[in-house]
C-alpha cells in the first residue's frame, strides 16, 4: 500500500484544531470528511427498482412520510352514509371481491371469512367474520363499516375502502350481501390454512454462508473495493487498517445524527458521502458497490450489540419525529407503522400468508437477500417498500424521515447483536 | 447478482474411513437459457454451465450434463463414501469454453 497505515483518519484535522485553539473553539472530536452536497441516491428518485407491477400506481393524493396532510380528512364520528338505493347486493360478486387481491390485498388478508376465496391463507389481523351474518347487524352498519370504519372508530386499523376510493359504492353493497351469508365457522382442511394454528416462520438458514445467501457474493466484492483507488488516487485502505480492525464495532453505532447535513446518516448514506469526500468514488445508495460496502461494514461488526446515540439534541428530536410518524396514517390504504408492527395491533399476526413482525428484532439482519425478489435490500429499501405496499409514494432512500425512522428503529433494537447480511423470503 | 462466475464447494476437512460425507457445490452463473429476448426483441444468446463433474483421487464420484432449464447459480449436493485421504476435484464447463476447477482435500483417519 502506497500510503501505508500511516495515520488515524482524523489526526491531521486534530492537529489543525490544536493550532487554532487560541482563537477558536476546540472541537471535542475531529470531524470525519463528508461530502455534504446533493443527494446520496439516484436523483431524481425513480421507482424503477420495483418493476412494472408496483411502478405505475399514483398515490399522490394520499399521505406520505414527508407530507402527512394529503389524505382526505377524517369523517365525523357517527356520520353514516346512506346505503345507495337501487343496487341489489350480489353475494357471489361480494365473495369474489372479498378474495380479490387487487383490491387492496382483499378482505381475506386480515379476516377469516368462511370459505371465501377457498379460505386460502386468510389473515387474522382483524376478527374472524365467518359468522358475521348471525350478529344481527343491519345493512347500514355493515355498509358504513366497510366504506369507512372510522365513523365508528377513528383509531381502527381497517382501511376506509370506500372513502379512499379502493372500492366503489356498488362493490361495498356486494360485500355487505356476501357478509350476510356468513353464518357458520369455517372448517380448514389443513391447519396451515388457519391463521390461529399456522406455524410461525422460523428462519434457520445460515445467512452468512455463501452457499446459502447470494448476498455474500456481492459482499465479497467489498474486499476489492476497499483496496481500489478512486478518482483522487486514494482507496479506503489508504487511511484505514483492514475493516476487521478499524470497523469491528462501528456499524453497531450507526445511524448517527449528523449536524452538517441536518439529518440522521445510516451506514449506506455515510459510505456514499465519506467515500465521495475522500477517494472520490460515487457509490450511490442502493448501487451494487454501496450495498457491498454497507454489508461488509456490518459483517465485520457482527455480534456487536446495537448501541446508537439517542442523547444528543439532534438525535432526540429525530426520535421524537419518528415516534409521531410511527403513528401517522399513510397512503391510500391508510396504515400507520403501528397498525402492522405494534403488538397490540397487527404485529405477531398474519396478513394473508405473511407474518407481521414487531419493530424490535428485524433491523439487525439488514441488509437482507430477499429470495422472493432475488435482490439485496438495505433497511432504507425495506422502508420504501413498506410505503409502496400500503399504497403510499415512497421517498428517495436518503430522505431525512427515513433517517429519523432508522434511528428510532435502532433505539428499539438496542442491545441486539448485528447479524448481517442475512436472508429472508 | 450472478455477474461474476465463481465456483464454491463445501467438503468436510476430515472423516472416518468408510464414512459417507455430504458435499455441497454452487457456481454463481447467470445460466442464460438462450430463449429469452432483450428489450428490442432479439434473442439473448445462450450461455450456461453445460456440465459438472466431481472426482475423488481420479475416480468419478458424480457427474451430470446441464441443460438450459436449470436456473441461475446451479447448486448440487450429493454424498460420497470416502475410504482414504485424498482430494476431491470439481469441474464446471461453461458454454464460452471456460473450465472452472476447484480442489478440496479431505483427511481420513
Locate the domains of chain B by residue range: 6-37+44-108
Q: How far apart are CA A299 and CA A263, in angstroms?
A: 25
The pLDDT of residue A1:
35
Higher pLDDT, A117 or B11: B11
Please compute the mean of the pLDDT values over residues A308-313 and round it to a whole number.
97
**C-alpha–C-alpha distance, residues A71 and A60, integer Å:** 9
Model pLDDT, residue A85 = 92
Q: For A369, name the nearest residue in chain B, comparing CA atoms only.
A: B1
Strands of A100-244 (E only): list them.
Answer: none
Is it true that domain B6-37+44-108 has CATH number 2.60.40.10? yes
Contact predicate A101/A187, CB 8 Å: no
Tell me what pLDDT residue A120 has. Answer: 73
Helix (H, G, I), strand (E, B) or coil at B47: strand
**Residue-wise pLDDT tens digits, A386-425:** 999 999 999 999 999 999 999 999 999 999 999 999 999 8
- Across the interface, do B28 and A218 touch by the CB < 8 Å criterion? no
Q: Do A211 and B10 touch (CB under 8 A)?
A: yes
Tell me: do A323 and A397 sit in the same domain. Answer: yes
End-of-domain residue from the set A179, A203, A224: A179
pLDDT of amino acid A47: 74
- Among residues A123, A145, A179, the one where a domain terminates is A179
The per-residue pLDDT for range B31-71, each reduced to its tens digit, is 999 999 998 999 999 999 999 999 999 999 999 999 999 99
CA angle, A75 then A76 then A78, to 5°: 115
pLDDT tens for A350-373 read 999 999 999 999 999 999 999 888
pLDDT at A121: 87
Tell me, what's the pLDDT at A117? 67
CATH of the domain at A359: 1.10.760.10
Radius of gyration for the alpha carbons in chain B, expressed in angstroms and rounded: 16
Q: Given this model, what pLDDT does residue A53 score?
A: 55
Residue A319, in any domain of the structure = yes
Mean pLDDT on A65-84 = 94
Q: Which residues of A touch B1 (CB under 8 A)?
A: 214, 217-218, 374, 376
Same structural domain, A58 and A99:
no
- Strand pairing of A368-370 and A422-424? parallel
Q: Report helix, strand or coil for B31.
A: coil
- Taking CA atoms, A368 is separated from A142, A205, A376, A420, in Å, by 42, 12, 6, 7
Co-location of A417 and A320 in the same domain: yes
Residue A162 lies in a domain: yes
Can you tell me the mean pLDDT for B72-78? 94
C-alpha cell at A125: 389481523
* Mean local confidence (pLDDT), A204-212: 94
Chain A partners within 8 Å of B28 (Cβ): 214, 217
Three cell numbers, residue A235: 482507496
Looking at the structure, do residues A354 and A409 belong to the same domain, yes or no? yes
C-alpha cell at A265: 446518516
Check whether residue A315 and residue A419 sit in a common domain.
Answer: yes
User: Would residue A227 count as lying in a domain?
Assistant: no
Q: In this predicted structure, what is the pLDDT of residue B17? A: 95
Gap from B3 CA to chain A (nearest CA, Å): 10
A284 domain-assigned: no
pLDDT value for A7: 38
Distances (CA, A) of A353 to A105, A109, A198: 11, 8, 9
Q: Which of A210, A218, A376 is facing B8, going by the closest CB pair?
A: A210
What is the C-alpha separation between A147 and A133, in angstroms, rounded? 18
Share of chain A above pLDDT 70, in %: 90
Q: Mutate which of B1, B22, B90 to test chain A, going by most A C-beta atoms within 10 A?
A: B1
Measured between its terminal Cα atoms, the distance across chain A in Å is 41
Which residue range forms the structural domain that includes residue A142? 91-179
How many domains does chain A contain in total? 2
* Minimum CA–CA partner of B5 in chain A: A217
Q: What does the CA dihedral A191, A193, A195, A199 come to, rounded to 10 degrees? A: 60
Q: Count other C-beta atoms under 10 Å from residue A149's C-beta.
A: 21
Q: Which of A129, A151, A179 marks a domain boundary?
A: A179
Q: What pLDDT score does A116 carry? A: 74
Q: Are B4 and B99 in contact (CB under 8 A)?
A: no
Domain assignment of residue A289, yes or no:
no
pLDDT of A142 over the 60 cut: yes
pLDDT at B57: 96
Q: How far apart are alpha carbons A117 and A125 in whole angstroms? A: 17
Query: In the predicted model, what is the mean pLDDT of chain A?
Result: 90
Predicted local confidence at residue A15, as pLDDT: 41
Minimum distance, in Å, between the CA of residue A214 and any CA atom of chain B: 7
pLDDT, position A29: 57
Name, in order, each residue with C-beta under 8 angstroms of A81's C-beta and a sequence gap of 6 or more: A143, A144, A147, A148, A151, A162
Over residues A74-100, mean pLDDT: 94
> Which residues in chain B are closer than 8 Å to A217, comparing Cβ atoms?
1-2, 4, 6, 28
The answer to whether the CB atoms of B28 and A211 lie below 8 A apart is no
C-alpha cell at A280: 472520490
Identify whether A126 is part of a domain.
Answer: yes
For helices A267-278 and A288-299, angle between their N-to-C axes, nearest 10 degrees: 110
Structural domain includes residue A260 = no
pLDDT over 90 for what percent of chain A?
Answer: 81
- A275 domain-assigned: no
Amino acid at each position: 500500500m502506497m500510503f501505508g497505515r500511516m495515520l488515524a483518519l482524523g489526526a491531521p484535522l486534530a492537529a489543525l484544531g490544536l493550532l487554532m485553539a487560541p482563537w477558536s473553539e476546540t472541537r471535542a472530536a475531529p470531524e470525519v470528511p463528508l461530502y455534504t452536497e446533493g443527494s446520496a441516491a439516484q436523483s431524481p428518485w425513480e421507482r424503477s427498482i420495483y418493476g412494472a407491477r408496483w411502478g405505475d400506481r399514483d398515490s399522490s393524493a394520499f399521505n406520505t412520510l414527508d407530507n402527512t396532510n394529503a389524505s382526505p380528512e377524517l369523517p365525523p364520528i357517527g356520520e353514516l352514509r346512506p346505503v345507495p338505493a337501487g343496487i341489489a347486493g350480489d353475494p357471489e360478486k361480494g365473495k369474489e371481491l372479498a378474495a380479490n387481491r387487487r383490491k387492496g390485498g382483499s378482505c381475506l388478508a386480515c379476516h377469516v371469512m368462511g370459505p371465501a376465496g377457498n379460505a386460502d391463507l386468510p389473515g387474522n389481523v382483524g376478527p374472524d367474520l365467518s359468522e358475521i351474518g348471525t350478529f344481527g347487524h343491519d345493512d347500514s352498519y355493515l355498509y358504513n363499516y366497510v366504506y369507512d370504519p372510522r365513523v365508528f372508530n377513528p383509531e381502527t386499523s381497517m382501511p376506509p375502502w370506500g372513502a379512499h376510493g379502493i372500492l366503489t359504492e356498488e362493490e361495498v353493497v356486494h360485500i355487505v350481501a356476501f357478509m350476510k351469508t356468513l353464518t357458520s365457522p369455517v372448517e380448514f382442511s389443513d391447519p396451515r390454512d388457519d391463521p390461529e394454528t399456522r406455524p410461525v416462520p422460523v428462519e434457520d438458514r445460515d445467512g452468512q454462508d455463501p452457499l446459502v445467501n447470494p448476498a455474500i457474493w456481492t459482499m465479497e466484492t467489498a474486499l476489492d473495493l476497499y483496496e481500489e483507488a478512486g478518482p483522487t488516487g486514494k482507496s479506503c485502505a489508504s487511511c484505514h487498517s483492514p475493516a476487521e480492525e478499524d470497523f469491528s464495532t462501528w456499524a453497531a453505532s450507526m445511524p448517527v445524527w449528523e449536524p452538517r447535513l441536518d439529518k440522521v446518516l445510516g451506514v449506506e448514506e455515510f459510505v456514499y458521502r465519506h467515500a465521495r469526500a475522500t477517494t472520490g468514488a460515487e457509490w450511490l445508495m442502493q448501487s451494487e458497490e454501496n450495498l457491498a460496502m454497507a454489508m461488509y461494514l456490518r459483517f465485520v461488526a457482527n455480534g456487536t450489540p446495537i448501541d446508537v446515540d439517542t442523547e444528543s439534541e439532534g438525535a432526540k428530536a429525530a426520535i421524537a419525529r419518528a415516534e409521531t410518524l410511527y403513528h401517522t396514517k399513510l397512503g391510500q390504504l391508510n396504515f400507520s407503522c403501528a397498525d402492522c408492527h405494534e403488538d397490540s395491533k397487527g404485529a405477531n399476526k398474519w396478513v394473508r400468508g405473511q407474518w407481521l413482525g414487531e419493530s424490535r428484532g428485524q433491523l439487525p439482519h439488514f441488509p437482507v437477500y430477499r429470495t422472493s425478489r432475488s435482490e439485496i435490500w438495505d433497511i432504507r429499501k425495506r422502508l420504501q417498500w413498506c410505503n409502496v405496499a400500503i399504497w403510499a409514494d415512497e421517498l428517495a432512500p436518503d430522505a431525512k424521515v427515513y433517517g429519523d425512522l432508522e434511528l428510532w428503529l435502532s433505539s428499539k433494537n438496542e442491545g441486539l447483536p448485528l447479524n448481517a447480511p442475512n436472508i429472508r423470503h | 447478482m450472478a455477474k461474476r462466475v465463481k465456483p464454491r464447494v463445501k467438503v468436510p476437512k476430515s472423516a472416518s474411513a468408510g464414512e459417507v460425507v455430504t458435499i455441497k457445490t454452487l457456481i454463481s452463473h447467470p445460466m442464460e437459457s438462450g430463449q429469452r429476448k432483450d428489450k428490442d426483441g432479439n434473442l439473448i444468446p445462450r450461455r450456461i454451465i453445460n456440465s459438472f463433474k466431481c472426482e475423488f483421487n481420479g475416480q468419478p464420484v458424480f457427474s451430470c450434463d446441464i441443460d438450459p432449464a436449470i436456473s441461475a447459480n446451479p447448486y448440487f449436493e450429493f454424498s460420497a463414501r470416502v475410504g482414504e485421504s485424498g482430494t476431491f476435484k470439481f469441474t464446471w464447463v461453461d458454454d464460452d469454453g471456460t473450465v472452472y476447477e476447484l480442489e478440496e482435500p479431505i483427511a481420513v483417519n
